Chains A and B, each alone.
Chain A
Amino acid sequence: MYATRVIVIALAIAACSSSRAAAPESHADRAFYFWRSTLALSATEKQALVDHHVNRLYVRAFDLGWNPEQQRADVMGALEIVDVPSVPTVPVVFIRQDVFAHMPPAEIPALAQRTWDTVVQRTQKLGAPTELQLDCDWTDRSRDSYFAFLGEMKRVAQVPLSATIRLHQIKYRERTGVPPVERGVLMLYNMGEIAAGDDQKAIFDAATTKKYIARLHEYPLPLDVALPIWSWTLHARAGAMVDLMQSTDPDELPALDFVRATSKPTQYVVTRNAFLHGVLLREGDTLEIERTTPADTLAAAALVSPLLSPTQRSIVLFDLSDRNLQRYPHDQLAEIFRSLR
């Protein structure tokens, strides 16, 4: 009976979504991730925050990674704040899994204290944090340490905590556990291992997503939803992935004099050794574009929409940049923000 009701609601939402005029007003908060290391918004980015009534900006404050020389967790790639955005910000700490693979349990309380101190110190210009988000792809092996860390963070930070939740953590909830935080952010992107010549999309793949979300409605935390709006270029050599060129705009490739298009519409081949955005491309390398389109983002939202329990939530788009805003015109971005309640 419950399942039937969910499906009926889902159909109603899907039907409504097909017509903009009939679209219901969304009550979801609107947010972006900001993932660059210098917080200085362009005019376009500032305008987007205003135009889309964005409530919040999730800002990567720094990464925590394991320093094998010093045998300790260290802050890496900390944010430099040049401009203070016009909307409230939430600091995000990205934690590499190697931290919890190595961190002795006895040192976790001190790590939490130092992490919080560093957040406060490094985001001073943004004002005192009112929420903190932790981002780590924990597994069943690292969950005990990670969850202990979250518990300690809760104690020292005294602000609501949220944590990113990846699809496998939804499907294998019993194995990976549910993090002890106030909210989760469901990441509807980064579908898995990236391989050259693989037709599966790495940013968002509907078929892959479907395999993981059947039990989404049971998830015991209130969930915000993070949706992808970015693109990247896959750099391959002799059929093997070399790198992800995240700073390479797919639209700039046709103009380069050292690449030529192949018969595959999304693929280019390098014609001589040349540097591109700090990467040394070799003759014969291939550059494969993976674009996330507004249709992909809406498809991601439509997949999870029927399965989300009713709660006040945020839609968070990854990530805020001129390039992504250029590819997502205002109307389509507005539709994406309206796609989830």
Chain B
Amino acid sequence: MTSSLRSFARYANGALAVTLALVAAASRPEKAKACAYDFEDYIESTTTFDPTIADEVDGLYWDPYHAGFGGPCEDCAVNDALDDWMTYLGKNVPRPLWNQILFKAPLTELVQLSFALDGVKGQTLPAQYAELGKLSKAEKSKVSAALGVAQLARKLEAFSVVPDYGYGGAPPPPSPTPSLITEAKKGAKSGDAFLKQRYAFLGLRATFYTRDWKSVLAYSTTYAKELAGPSKNLAWRTKYYVAGANMRTGKRALANVQLADIHAESAALAAVAAQDFAPLEDKDWKTALGIAKTKSEQVRLWRLVGLKLDGEAAMDEIIKLDPSSPTLPLLLVRELSKGESGTWAGGYDPPPAAQRSAYLSHLDQIANTLLGKKPDRPWLVELVAGHLAALRGDLAGARKHLGNAVAAKPADVKVALQAKASLAMAISAAWKMSPTFETEMATTMAAIDPAFTRAGALTTAVRLQLANAYKADGKLADAELLTPGNVDGADFQPGVGPTQAKAPAVLHWHDPVFIKQLIARVQITKTPWDKFVLDKATSRGDLQAELAWRYILDGKIADGAKLFGDSETTDGGLGTEPFAMHVVDCHDCDHETYANAKWTTGSLAKKMVDLEKQVKQGGDVGAKGALALGVAYYNLSWYGNARVVLEGTHQAFDEPTQALAWFTQAFKLAKTRELKARAAYYAAKAQLGMMISATPGGAQYNYMATIPVPSVWFTELSHFNDTAYYREVLKECGNFARWIRG
């Protein structure tokens, strides 16, 4: 890390810390799969304990290594500076105007302003600063003096850019000229304590940018009195620069002690102080603990270790020093979130259950130790202990701790809400198949306000746990309604193209009996439990449509058509032409051409019934019927242009097995050679789809060096080389042409 450059220009720029966090992440020891970093698994979606309940300053949650732990206070630095200046300048100087002057106005404009306020002949106030013209003479004089500070600060900015991250950063800047430091020192001797401190601080910064660290430390000693006040904010900034100089002169232990102090006391600097805090070796850490004379100073050091590096180890150490430290409940909450989400392990995959369990068990041990030692915010420790009990399925323990928390904070809505959420987790983890459990779960979950920050994660976690319990108990309909996808698993999804995922032995959604169970279950809505189970469940009409499709795909076309005729069954437009077929498929072309086709699911089913009757007539008429049915089934499969029809249902399918059967029948029934040639080629297309689906790695068939050859049906087609359709295929289908050429 090029730390000598990186620390520049942090003043008054809290947003920078976010980027610094990223830089820090880049500097961490790489895992072997460094490229696989993933920002998506945010902690909010994987935890059920609301950390905002700790009521800490958001900046304290800042943690560059764990997404979801908040960010730095982005406007603290600017607000602190403006607060100081407003106190000094008085209410007649508008804050937005001074904000403009202090942070945005170019140097030339600042100079012009000074001249105008000082009454220099021919100099006028720029229009946007006209309000300053209304100030009294004394006020104008004060603003003019303040402008001197702003001008010097603006001159220093050229040396305070951060050159080594972000695009377009300039090369490392040269050192500030000695005249700037002299100007600052001169200002630090002025009679006004406020301006003295500002100038002295600018002198410190200018010296810092020379990278002569010993001079920085010497300067801070020489101007210690001026730098100490009146602004506390500026005093902390001073300490931050001094810590930086100490770090660079090898006084790591002292620097870490100073950074821990800054982190604890200055919200504006907390993020950057945490970033720079870096115990390195055993020796320097022992020295730091030695410099920190009092227990509270030592706690500060461990606090930052806990926030940045290792919460568990820090809690163990802080308990020895001060069990009533407010840091302990905070760390406990943070570690609970990490433990529940598995992010403490820092890996790309969730850690094994046994490790997670061991981690949570250690937290439980800490929480219970704390409860015996009069901790700060005992209600919060009780809540954490209750939640930990909930996660391990200790319902009695959870009730006890959660009850204690609510009793200690009876009027606190957040505590009550979290207690209910934790109780829901406990009930689901300790689940027993009984109406008592069902009722308590339903009423507890109904009381969770959707605004609860972890409502989504809680609902997902609870419903999944219950779905698994109902599945294990053989109540498959309930399991599926509690967590859609539960009974068949999420790994295998039919109808999304060839996949390497293994299909489960039984696909319940392809079983009419299971779909009928679902249809029956969604019509039972008597109890709170029923309402809970059916929350956001698939409607009866959609389920009947699923069943109708199932019948059709199982070859029971008449049964499917009959069910589509039921007014309760969901029916809708197909948005495509299910009977269109080409030598070479073009899904996008067909979707565009037939987007407004008038087919509905019901009318397609009726047509298929008619075609089935037509097949029975035999001969070319029957062959045409079979061909059309084959086309419909082919198009409904993943390979066809009507696959969108079944998207969003559970009946989508990949392999055009039914289509091949109908094409084969068409081939057998056809009397004319043209019709036979067509049937043979259509059968070849269906066979090709089945071959791709059966090929290992078929999901990548777009990249296949060689497309499989459906040789059975290509051979049949080759016998019809006197037909027009054969010639058409030969012209358009490269795969066939290559095969014919040998």
Which candidate, B176-184, B186-194, B350-358, B726-734, is the interface stretch facing chain A?
Answer: B350-358
Does the CB pair A240–B352 fall under 8 Å? yes
Chain A residues lying within 8 Å of B127, measured Cβ to Cβ, are none
**B19 within 8 A of partner (CB):** yes
Contact residues in A for B410 (Cβ distance below 8 Å): none
Question: Tally of A-B residue pairs with Cβ under 8 A?
Answer: 141
Tell me how far the C-beta of A249 lies from the nearest C-beta in chain B, rounded to whole angstroms.
13
Let me know if A11 is at the binding interface, CB within 8 A: no
| Cα separation A140 to B2 with both chains bound (whole Å) | 35
Instruction: List chain B positions with a Cβ less than 8 A from chain A.
Output: 1-2, 5, 18-19, 22-23, 25-27, 29-39, 67, 71, 164-169, 171, 278-282, 284-285, 305, 309-310, 312-313, 317, 345-347, 351-352, 355, 358, 697, 700, 703-705
Are A97 and B355 in touch, CB under 8 angstroms? no
A98 at the interface (CB under 8 A from B): yes
Complex Cα distance A118/B163, Å?
A: 11
Q: Closest CB of chain B to A103's CB: distance in Å?
A: 13
CB within 8 A of A244: which of B22, B32, B165, B704? B32
Answer whether residue A334 sits at the interface, using C-beta atoms and an 8 A cutoff: no
B168 touches A114 (CB 8 A): yes
B355 touches A240 (CB 8 A): yes
List the A side residues contacting B284 at CB < 8 Å: 275
Contacts of B22 in A (CB 8 A): 65, 67, 74, 76
| In-complex Cβ contact of B1 among A37, A202, A256 (8 A) | A37
Partner of B347, one of A80, A117, A241: A241
Whether A124 sits at the interface, judged by CB under 8 Å, is yes
B2 touches A244 (CB 8 A): no
User: Which of chain A's residues has its CB closest to B349's CB?
Assistant: A193
Q: How far is the CB of A120 from chain B (nearest CB, A)?
A: 11
| One of A76, A277, A282 near B165 (C-beta < 8 A) | A76
Chain A contacts for B33, CB-based, 8 A? 137, 190, 192-193
Asked if A174 and B345 make an inter-chain contact with CB atoms under 8 angstroms apart, the answer reads: no
Chain A 58-70, CB within 8 Å of chain B: the 1/0 string? 0000010111111
Chain A 231-259: CB-based contact to B (< 8 A → 1; otherwise 0): 00000001111111111000000001010
A117 near B703: Cβ-Cβ < 8 Å: no
Q: How far is the CA of A97 from the CA of B30 in the complex (A)?
A: 13
Asked if B29 and A96 sit within 8 Å, CB to CB, the answer is: no
- Once the chains bind, are B700 and A280 in contact (CB under 8 Å)? no
Once the chains bind, are A245 and B37 in contact (CB under 8 Å)?
no
8 CB-based A-B contacts, threshold 8 Å: A37-B1, A37-B2, A37-B27, A78-B2, A96-B35, A117-B168, A175-B700, A282-B312
Q: Select which of B26, B31, B358 is within 8 A of A63 by beta carbon.
A: B26
A121 within 8 A of B: yes
A169-185 with Cβ < 8 A to chain B: 174-175, 177
Q: How far is the CA of A275 from the CA of B277 in the complex (A)?
A: 13
Asked whether any CB of chain B lies closer than 8 Å to the CB of A194, the reply is yes
Cβ contact within 8 Å between A258 and B164: no
Does A68 lie within 8 Å of B358, measured CB to CB? Answer: no
CB-defined contacts of B27 to chain A, threshold 8 Å: 37, 76-77
Task: List the B side residues contacting A209 at CB < 8 Å.
Answer: none
Instruction: Output the least CB separation between B170 and chain A (Å).
Output: 8
User: Given contacts A65-B22, A243-B29, are A78 and B165 in contact (CB under 8 A)?
Assistant: yes
Chain A min CB distance to B25 (Å):
7
Within 8 Å of chain B (Cβ to Cβ): is A136? yes
**A278 is an interface residue with CB less than 8 A from chain B:** yes
Q: Whole-angstrom distance between the alpha carbons of A105 and B1 in the complex? A: 31
Smallest beta-carbon distance B247→chain A, Å: 13
Tell whether A38 pairs with B171 under 8 Å between CB atoms, given A98-B37, A137-B35, A241-B347.
no
Q: A117-B167, A275-B280 are in contact. Are A77 and B26 (CB under 8 A)?
A: yes
Once the chains bind, are B30 and A244 in contact (CB under 8 Å)? yes
Within 8 Å CB of A238, what residues of B? 355, 358
A239 to B357, alpha carbons, bound, how many Å?
13
| Inter-chain contacts of A118 with B (CB < 8 A) | 167-168
Q: Which residues of A contact B30 (CB under 8 A)?
A: 244, 246
B313 partner, pick from A37, A78, A278, A282, beta carbons under 8 A: A282
CB closest residue in chain B, given A115:
B167
* Residues of A with C-beta under 8 A to B347: 241
B203 CB, min distance to chain A CBs, angstroms: 27
Contact A193 B32 (CB under 8 A): yes
Q: A65-B37, A77-B1, A278-B278 are in contact. Are A175 and B32 (CB under 8 A)?
A: no
A87 in contact (CB, < 8 A):
no
User: A194 is contacted by which of B32, B279, B705 (Cβ under 8 Å)?
Assistant: B32
Asked if B1 and A74 make an inter-chain contact with CB atoms under 8 angstroms apart, the answer reads no
Any B CB within 8 A of the CB of A299: no
Chain B residues with CB under 8 Å of A76's CB are 22-23, 25-27, 165
B29: which A residues are within 8 A, CB to CB? 243-247
A280 and B18: CB pair below 8 A?
no
Task: Tell whether, in the assembled complex, residue B38 and residue A98 are in contact, meaning their CB atoms are under 8 Å apart.
Answer: yes
B282/A277 in contact, CB under 8 A: no
CA distance A177 to B703 in the complex (A): 9
A96 to B705, CA, bound (A): 29
A48 interfacial by beta-carbon distance below 8 Å: no
Those 8 A-B pairs whose CB atoms lie nearest each other, nearest first: A76-B26, A137-B35, A97-B35, A80-B2, A77-B26, A274-B282, A78-B164, A174-B703
Name A258's closest neighbour in chain B (CB-CB): B282
Known pairs A37-B27, A67-B19, A136-B35 / 13 extra A-B pairs, C-beta < 8 Å? A37-B1, A65-B22, A67-B22, A76-B25, A77-B26, A80-B164, A97-B37, A98-B35, A117-B167, A138-B35, A243-B29, A246-B30, A282-B313
The answer to the question of A75 belonging to the interface, with a C-beta cut-off of 8 Å to chain B, is yes
State the CA gap A94–B317 with chains docked (Å).
39
